[in-house]
């Protein structure tokens, strides 16, 4: 539990509302639950203050204040205060003291190899297999039947469902790439969210999945991710997807169910890809993609159209000559 | 040794042939040796049944059966039975019990750092150097003079030749990306092949090389692979190649000798690249490439042509205007 | 200290100069300091012999010899002798003998988890945090307040400034990709340089940064590097840059201050990118880039122009038809 007045003072804000109460945590605007605090900086949030379930809202001065909410009214843009907010809500990390911490809860028939680290209060389900040099951080949950291959890493607070597989070197819960400029220098914004892998998710060798900044990065059930893939903070990938090797998906992007993203495709941040979408290899995606499409290229177009564009490209130098000729004729 | 009748029953098949015998293993159609089983699903295999040396063939009902072979005739498409086949032939994995297993065979002048794991029946040649946090799986062979840098991983059954080098975090033998749909869900197909590195092969930091599904992924002698490269299952790379950083090669593709694939190039699966081929950075390869060529681009063209295309691209918006103008004139 | 005559004999050269003296090391032409040896093979170096501060120069036969230098005059192209030079100057590596070597110097309030390796003569500053399975090589310096997440690797001789962060699996100091052909085979060139991270640098999960061949790979203060990035040998990245996920920068390229390279961008070797440059995602950079630009694409163009080109690409197959039509009309 966190203290409201302490937070308000830290933010240089004033509390406005019926009662002062304890806060249970920090959450993104639309995911927040009762008892949590969120912040609204841009108009798109300020216009929808009734749509968040958060109890406490960090906001700039407003014309009117909805009842049934508590406000911390701040002078600065609330977004600029995010580093302070995140630092305030970051949970204390208990540093490793021994290979398998006494507070870790280990299920039945768990196989633990030499040189494994299992963190404070971690919960390892039944029939989990853990190979050498695996790191399992504090409060991590590993669902039953999961297999963690050598040198894979699950950082603090992340959650793996049942029957998940981490190939060697996979990293779950690295910090998202979040910085802010202070006096011209890049200063880190704490990343306090988690990574959630649902049941039957497999993660490829040396793939990296960043934890959420606030809130969680989520990979839904039966989705399979190949080697050397990068998923940014707060990415959500739906069920039964294939994310092929060397794909990169930037922060906060959402991918629907049953999608296939072929190798080396790059997807920008904060966009939505629908269900049943197939993206060809090396595609470059910078805008939303509706469901039920097979696209390829950069920009992405229908896959048949993409083949035509590729064929046309070969003729491009010749075209320029032809046009010059035509211009002379006219 | 595996039991023929047991396998046939498991596949719901009927045995047709002269004699019932023990099977030594499962292998791809053209690589199979006497005593092994293979399967033929598509016409391209069914038309060439005399070209496999496998003793046992899993096939659909045929018009005629060549003599000197044993058949397991199945109702379903043999390819759909692959998950069952692979599970049947997957060798039992002995889980780690201590840092250096008693059954491991360690050569002379081997340097083993702290926190190293060497698996059951692994064979480490003379003068091998093994840095901390290296994982060497069961039955792995490491040829003499090889250097394994920290946190590199060699999973079970893989083989390294003499004087191989693994840079830190390299992963040899991760599972290939193979799944099948069952009731709409992505279900894993066991990957039971190996990775073979011939002599004098070097693998870059955090590069990942998947084991074969059936059969092996092979990197031939003197080939050097840079950091963060991905090689899919059953890829074969010839001798004396350079595979530059962040290249991805999809499953079953074959690269000839003396090739250079420049950075961030992507190569589709199941294609053949000849000898002495140079592919420029960021190339996208989706079809076979004949020997002795310098290509670049997506689609790949002669490297000089590619420079022209790139220059032409800059003029493309202008071209469209010109054509509009010409159309008005006509 | 290295012996001049021994080196000259090894190179098959003849010493020319006033006095014979001890050499302190090998360095690149323009970075060399007094007492060091460098080599000049190409005209661009041979024409500027007065611009290196090196005391000893490995050169082919010259028409005239500047005074105040010592020369090792060789028969072969000096560049071909580089493998011998590098082997000669490579420092002896002390192999790990125990988890934390006795000669390592550990500061105050350093947190060291289980399964960590700290090498011979390594220096760990105050308040450093080291998670499990981290490898810190011989003579490495880790500046105060740095955090090394699990399974990160710092190879021998590399230096981290204050408040650096390595995300899990990051590799600092892997060998650069340097080979030479001997009898048609790829033979390794030793990589004897270092990686230097200045203060407040963060390196993403499973990112790889190669050590310099000769001289150093340098990342300047406050620069933040995302996951799965590859930096080749002798790359220099300026202050306060953002290098986003899956970017690759080839050897010896220099990036200025305050640059942002967006995801999956590839940069060729031996080029210069100015200050305040922003490169859009998936850009392909093969030539120098002047300061203060926002570019995108392959080839890179002004970002607005790139959007036009991408839009035009969609019309390309149609254009070809139009031109055919126009040609018939003429």
Is it the case that residue A118 has pLDDT exceeding 80? Answer: yes
Q: How many CB atoms lie within 10 A of CB B220?
A: 21
C319 interface with A at CB cutoff 8 Å = yes
Is it the case that residue A20 has pLDDT exceeding 90? Answer: no
Mean pLDDT for chain A?
Answer: 95
A157-177 average pLDDT score: 98
Q: What is the pLDDT of residues C65-114, one digit of tens each?
A: 888 889 999 998 888 888 899 999 999 999 999 999 999 999 999 999 99
Q: Which residues of A touch C165 (CB under 8 A)?
A: 175, 188
* Smallest Cα distance from C320 to chain B, Å: 10
pLDDT of residue B330: 61
Q: Which residues of B touch A314 (CB under 8 A)?
A: 299, 301, 305, 309
Q: Which residue has the tokens 């045929």?
A: B62
Highest mean pLDDT among A4-13, A71-80, C214-223: C214-223
Q: Which residues of A touch B311 (CB under 8 A)?
A: 317
* Smallest Cα distance from A242 to chain C, Å: 19
Is it the case that residue C175 has pLDDT exceeding 90? Answer: yes
DSSP string of B246-308, one letter each residue: T-EE-TT-EE-SS-EE-TT-EE-SS-EE-SSEEE-TT-EE-S-B-SSEEEETTTTEEHHHHHH
What is the Cα–Cα distance from C39 to C54, expressed in whole angstroms? Answer: 9
Nearest residue in chain C measured CA to CA from A307: C317
- Contact (CB<8Å) B246/C246: yes
Q: Which residues of C touch B264 (CB under 8 A)?
A: 248, 264, 266
| Three-class SS state of C231 | strand
CA angle centred on C117, ends C115 and C123, rounded to 5°: 135
pLDDT of residue B22: 82
Tens place of pLDDT for every residue, chain B, 330 residues?
888 999 999 999 999 986 667 899 999 999 899 999 999 988 889 999 999 999 999 999 998 888 888 999 999 888 888 889 998 999 999 999 999 999 999 999 999 999 999 999 999 999 999 999 999 999 999 999 999 999 999 999 999 999 999 999 999 999 999 999 989 999 999 999 999 999 999 999 999 999 999 999 999 999 999 999 999 999 999 999 999 999 999 999 999 999 999 999 999 999 999 999 999 999 999 999 999 999 999 999 999 999 999 999 999 999 888 888 888 876
A182 interface with C at CB cutoff 8 Å = no
B330 interface with C at CB cutoff 8 Å = yes
What is the Cα–Cα distance from A194 to A209, expressed in whole angstroms? Answer: 10
3-state SS, one letter per residue, for C56-123: EEEECCCCCCCCCCEEEECCCCHHHHHHHHHHHHCCCCCCCCCCECCCCEECCCCEECCCCEECCCCE
Q: Which residues of C touch A210 (CB under 8 A)?
A: 205, 227
Share of chain C above pLDDT 70, in %: 99
Mean pLDDT for chain C?
Answer: 95
- Contact (CB<8Å) C317/A309: yes
- Contact (CB<8Å) A240/B185: yes
pLDDT of residue A173: 98
A32 interface with C at CB cutoff 8 Å = no
Question: Known catalytic residues of A?
Answer: 233
C168 interface with A at CB cutoff 8 Å = yes
B257 interface with C at CB cutoff 8 Å = no
pLDDT of residue C330: 61
- Contact (CB<8Å) B309/A313: yes
* Smallest Cα distance from B25 to chain A, Å: 25
C330 interface with A at CB cutoff 8 Å = yes
- Contact (CB<8Å) A263/B248: yes
pLDDT of residue C21: 73
- C19 pLDDT tier (thresholds 50, 70, 90): low
Q: Which residues of A touch C308 (CB under 8 A)?
A: none
Q: How many CB atoms lie within 10 A of CB B169?
A: 34
Nearest residue in chain C measured CA to CA from A284: C282
pLDDT of residue C317: 92
Of A27-31, A295-299, C299-303, the range with the lowest mean pLDDT is A27-31
C50 interface with B at CB cutoff 8 Å = no
Hey, of C129, C150, C222, C239, which one would you mutate to test binding to chain A, going by the most A CBs within 10 A of its CB? C150
C163-170 average pLDDT score: 98
Q: What is the pLDDT of residues B84-117, one digit of tens each?
A: 999 899 999 999 999 999 999 999 999 999 999 9
- Contact (CB<8Å) A169/C167: no
The beta strand positions in B88-193, using DSSP E, are 105-106, 111-112, 117-118, 123-124, 129-130, 135-136, 141-142, 147-148, 153-154, 159-160, 165-166, 171-174, 179-182, 185-188
pLDDT of residue C79: 82
C184-207 average pLDDT score: 97
* Smallest Cα distance from B171 to chain A, Å: 7
Q: What is the pLDDT of residues C87-100, one digit of tens each?
A: 999 999 999 999 99
B114 interface with C at CB cutoff 8 Å = yes
What is the Cα–Cα distance from B131 to B151, expressed in whole angstroms? Answer: 8
Q: Which residues of A touch C313 (CB under 8 A)?
A: 297, 299, 309
Complex ipTM:
0.95
- C117 pLDDT tier (thresholds 50, 70, 90): very high
- Closest partner CB to A113 (pick from B96, B228, B286): B96
* Smallest Cα distance from A98 to chain C, Å: 6
Is it the case that residue C304 has pLDDT exceeding 70? Answer: yes
- A-C CB pairs within 8 A amount to 157
Q: What is the pLDDT of residues B134-192, one digit of tens each?
A: 999 999 999 999 999 999 999 999 999 999 999 999 999 999 999 999 899 999 999 99
Q: List, in order of start, the domains of chain B with CATH numbers.
A: 2-89 (3.40.1390.10), 105-303 (2.160.10.10)
What count of residues does chain A have? 330
Share of chain C above pLDDT 90, in %: 84
A301 interface with C at CB cutoff 8 Å = yes
Is it the case that residue C309 has pLDDT exceeding 70? Answer: yes
Q: What is the pLDDT of residues C224-278, one digit of tens each?
A: 999 999 999 999 999 999 999 999 999 999 999 999 999 999 999 999 999 999 9
Is it the case that residue C218 has pLDDT exceeding 90? Answer: yes
pLDDT of residue A326: 87
pLDDT of residue B19: 64
Q: What is the pLDDT of residues A261-316, one digit of tens each?
A: 999 999 999 999 999 999 999 999 999 999 999 999 999 999 999 999 999 999 99
Record the tokens describing residue A276, joined without a space: 């049943």
**Bigger pLDDT: C290 or C5?**
C290
Beta strand pairing status for B277-279 and B301-302? unpaired
Is it the case that residue A317 has pLDDT exceeding 70? Answer: yes
C20 interface with B at CB cutoff 8 Å = no
- Closest partner CB to B153 (pick from A150, A240, A282): A150
């Amino acid at each position: 539990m966190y203290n409201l007045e302490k937070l308000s003072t830290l933010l240089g804000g004033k509390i406005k509302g019926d009662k002062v109460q304890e806060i249970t945590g920090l959450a993104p605007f639309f995911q927040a639950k009762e008892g949590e605090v969120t912040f609204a900086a841009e108009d798109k949030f300020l216009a929808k203050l009734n749509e968040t379930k958060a109890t406490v809202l960090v906001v700039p001065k407003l014309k009117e204040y909805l009842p049934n909410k508590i406000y911390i009214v701040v002078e600065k843009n609330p977004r600029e205060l995010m580093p302070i907010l995140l630092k305030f809500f970051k949970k204390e990390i208990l540093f490793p003291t021994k290979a398998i911490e006494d507070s870790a809860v280990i299920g039945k028939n768990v196989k633990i190899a030499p040189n494994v680290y299992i963190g404070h209060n971690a919960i390892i389900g039944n029939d989990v297999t853990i190979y050498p040099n695996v790191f399992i951080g504090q409060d991590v949950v590993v669902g039953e039947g999961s297999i963690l291959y050598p040198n894979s890493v699950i950082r603090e607070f992340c959650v793996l469902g049942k029957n998940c597989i981490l190939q060697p070197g996979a990293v779950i819960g690295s910090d998202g790439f979040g910085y802010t400029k202070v006096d011209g220098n890049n200063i880190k914004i704490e990343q306090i969210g988690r990574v959630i892998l649902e049941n039957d998710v497999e993660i490829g060798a040396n793939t990296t999945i960043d934890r959420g900044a606030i809130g969680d990065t989520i990979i839904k059930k039966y989705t399979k991710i190949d080697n050397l893939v990068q998923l940014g903070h707060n990415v959500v990938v739906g069920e039964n997807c294939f994310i092929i090797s060397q794909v990169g998906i930037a922060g906060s992007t959402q991918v629907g169910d049953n999608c296939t993203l072929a190798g080396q495709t790059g997807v920008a941040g904060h966009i939505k890809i629908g269900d049943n979408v197939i993206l060809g290899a090396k595609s470059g995606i910078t805008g939303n993609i509706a469901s039920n499409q097979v696209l390829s290229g950069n920009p992405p177009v229908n896959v048949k159209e993409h083949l035509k564009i590729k064929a046309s490209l070969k003729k491009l130098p010749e075209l320029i000559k032809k046009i010059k000729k035509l211009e002379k004729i006219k």
